[in-house]
Amino acid sequence: MSQGKYLDDILEFISMDYDNEMLSVHPRDKLNGILENYNDPKTLMVIDIDGTIKRSPTMSIVKKTVFKPQRYYKNLEWLGNMLLTLPIAGWQRWSLEKIETFSLEYAETNVIETLRNNYPNVNLNKIAETESPQLFPGVKDVLTYFSQPKKLLVSRTFEELVKATEKELNNGVQLIHNSYHRIDDKVKLVLDQAEQQRCEKIFIFGDLQNDIDPATEARKLGYDVFMARVCKQMLRKHYHSDVDLYMQRNWTGLRDMLIS
């Protein structure tokens, strides 16, 4: 096995268009058929939010409330905590999981709960809808194509942000059947839902290790599993033996392949 920096050193190209780049452990001529197998009512489709279908709304709302405080706060109570915690974020740059965890904890302690408890005139649902980043290109098309599975949004982020994303996805046609927020143990939730829904197959879209863990555990229990990992960059370090497809944040490559 070569020792290059990028995933294409070890995996097969599915699309050579850089913006829509995808890599898979499955041969290109078989991938369409494999994916179509999951467009089935017996499939549970689990979709992460932050870094998977849009840039992190958690980080976005933290940045906008911290660095534009006059829009949300009446005083400078946020400043001390920000100055104390930002260096911690700097130390944790090497780990996406730790960055996400830091952002969630920071937001919970210093942003979300402060706004909920102390500023009744601030509408967090409205902020979540207006300040949340846009969906990555092609996301709605791909989820529309998979019309048969029961689709769940499962995220570690906050209720307002999850509900805003669910509302955005369901605008016009219902794509998401249910959503779950502040879920740290995704393994338990996914396995419980698969059992309750009597699903035989599980399809997961995610970007971090805690999205891959349910795929690993579900396979051990005999479920037919497909794991798609969304990557900002297609780096070799993102390789995992339980991932079937790697795709960049532009989902149009997957969309175009599915409808071709």
Output the average pLDDT for the chain.
Answer: 83
pLDDT at 90: 52
- pLDDT score recorded for residue 134: 93
pLDDT in tens, 167-207: 999 998 999 999 999 998 999 999 999 999 999 999 999 99
pLDDT number for residue 109: 66
pLDDT in tens, 217-251: 999 999 999 999 999 888 888 889 999 999 999 99
Identify the structural domains of the chain with CATH numbers, from first to last: 7-54+134-259 (3.40.50.1000), 57-131 (no CATH)
Nearest to 176 by CA among 137, 212, 202, 147: 147
Average pLDDT over residues 52-79: 65
Comparing 110-114, 141-145, 173-177, the range with the smallest average pLDDT is: 110-114
Per the model's pLDDT, the better-predicted residue between 156 and 97 turns out to be 156
The pLDDT > 90 percentage for the chain reads: 52
